Amino acid sequence: MSKVRNQYSMQNPLTQYPAPPFSEQPQAAPGLDAQMQPKPDHGEHSYQGFGRLRGRKALITGADSGIGRAVAIAFAREGADVVLNYLPVEERDAREVVGLIEAEGRKAVTLPGDIKDEAFCTQLVNQAHEALGGLDILVNVAGKQVAQKSIGELSTEQFDATFKTNVYALFWLCKAAVPLMPAGATIINTASIQSYQPSVTLLDYASTKAAIVAFTKALAKQVIERGIRVNAVAPGPVWTVLQPSGGQPQEKLPHFGEQSPMKRPGQPAECAPLYVLLASQESSYITGEVFGVTGGNPLP
């Protein structure tokens, strides 16, 4: 954890958060943040809001843990009401996020379910719109990442599930949301440094993240005539439960993030402010862009 809980105090970014080595800590997918060591920082104690999303209505997938959790906390502290989507087995983490949102006096609605199902995605958007009395921010964070050492070990079932979670769900959610969104609304997708610099063990995952970059740029051109902006955040190595629950080979986990120029992984709390910016009116002239949070590894 950061030694300084206020993230707005000047600090050395190299030593602000834990650096490798880490312990091997296998979990069954999708995993729980509560079992990670060291525990990720989602901004629970560090993020301060300034009212930049006051009155806004957001749907966030993968909102129980990792980057999605950090975004949900930040959005609530900026004044937004939030619908959280996650898998039912992640209820323990999700309830913690609900408590943090409600502590800010904001509305938190939980709609768990599997976004690999088209009918559920459509239902999720419609129910979020109804529960919040509108929908003007859609944040697609939920993702599937399972490392495989060779293409021979990558099954059709895994390839299909990764594309369904990362790309098809994105399409279904955006398709359902756009007709409901007013001018000024925003969609924020989650790409990855893997979109541009794929790891040898992440053939299917990297392919989906490259697709998300193209999807974001194309959709942005389609919907700007409606006054809707679409952008993407592309994280590098970030300390989330996705990593120990199959996203990385266990033997690589102790050195996770070590190859970045900062010599450490990022924390979810270091990603959330960028999502806030892209959701807010402060970014009114930005659409169709991809922003890296990579610890110094530049995107093209």
CB 81, CB 59: distance < 8 Å: no
Closest by Cα among 100, 30, 38 to 69: 100
Supply 52's token pair: 């930049």
Helix axes 118-132, 169-177, angle to 10 degrees: 40
Q: In the sheet where 81-85 sits, what is the strand order?
A: 108-110, 81-85, 57-61, 137-140, 186-190, 229-235, 290-293
Closest by Cα among 264, 190, 241, 209 to 66: 241
Cα separation, 279 vs 275, in Å, equals 6
Catalytic-role residue among 47, 86, 205, 275: 205
For this structure, is 205 an active site residue? yes
Q: In angstroms, what CA-CA distances link 229 with 81, 272, 276? A: 20, 18, 14
User: Which residues are known to be catalytic?
Assistant: 205
